[in-house]
Amino acid sequence: MTQLYKTIGLIGKPHHDGTSATIEILYKYLTEHNYHVLVESTVAPFIRIDNLAKHSLMQIGEQAELAIVVGGDGYMLGAARVLAGYKIGVIGVNRGNLGFLTDLSPDNLIPPLEAILRGESRSEQRFVIEAEVYRHGKLKSSNSAVNEAVVHAGKVANMIEFEVYIDGSFMFSQRSDGLIISTPTGSTAYSMSAGGPILTPGLNALSLVPMFPHTLTSRPIVVDGSSEIKLILANENYENLQVSCDGHVILAVMPGDEVIIKKSEYTLRLIHPLDHDYFNVLRSKLSWGNELY
């Protein structure tokens, strides 16, 4: 039978015994079944396999048709920001806590993986956002986010002041600890903890969630996913302002800077088992009630 995936990348959290053990199992299984396997360079030194070649995330994105990421949602996000730039399917093995993005369990790994490798799977595209910082009209820095971009002060409990524009139209000015701009993927992450709405993954939408606003009338708002969101930071702000992308990448922001957040041209292609059900994931992870009858 023709292999649907010929080259498969293995990516995982280094310095984690459970992740290393899972990658060893995957490597042995895949090589025994004649798959070409690429192991990501940061985790490769912790895998007890002789003469193991090391590959960067970019090399995996360029050469593989499927990437298996072993770890929690945080590690999946780090890999996803890079892999979204390539036409590669991504599936996660949960070695973290909640695991909204990591479908497979390390305790029951091979049977569902076999089905996926046979093509018995479903895929979905999750859009990615870009955060750009402009100073005096010039682009100073940028990065992408799968979950959210957060504009905030560099110190805890420091209020900042800013204006928000949607597609050039003024929406509001605000004094708060910051603003979370979340994708549907990120709506069950930091945004949800701050009181934001849960957005189903297929929605073309972004949510804007204020962080401890200095007003009783400020509420989260959902806008079209193709909108351009612009924040202008007031000159009266302190200088230690930041934009956090997925909580991993930090962009420095100065008073008076403009931050533009918009949908990226790239998307993340997630691969799920056939029995994957988003609402079942929500019930399981958030301890929602089951059917009454």
Q: What is the DSSP letter of 196?
A: P
List, as residue ranges, the binding site.
73-74, 147-148, 175, 177, 188-193
Residues marked active site are found at: 73
Q: What are the φ/ψ torsions at residue 15 (nearest 5 degrees)?
A: 60, 30
User: CA nearest 227: which of 173, 263, 257?
Assistant: 263
Copy the structure tokens of residue 22: 């899972």
45 torsion bin: left (phi>0), alpha (psi -120 to 50), beta (else): alpha
Q: What is the largest CA-CA distance in the chain?
A: 66
Bridge partner list, 142: 132
- In whole angstroms, what is the distance from residue 247 CA to residue 229 CA? 19
Pairing state between β 148-153 and 178-182:
antiparallel
- In whole angstroms, what is the distance from residue 159 CA to residue 161 CA? 7
SS3 category, 69: strand
Determine the distance from the C-alpha atom of residue 139 to the mean position of all C-alpha atoms in its chain, rounded to a whole number.
Answer: 24
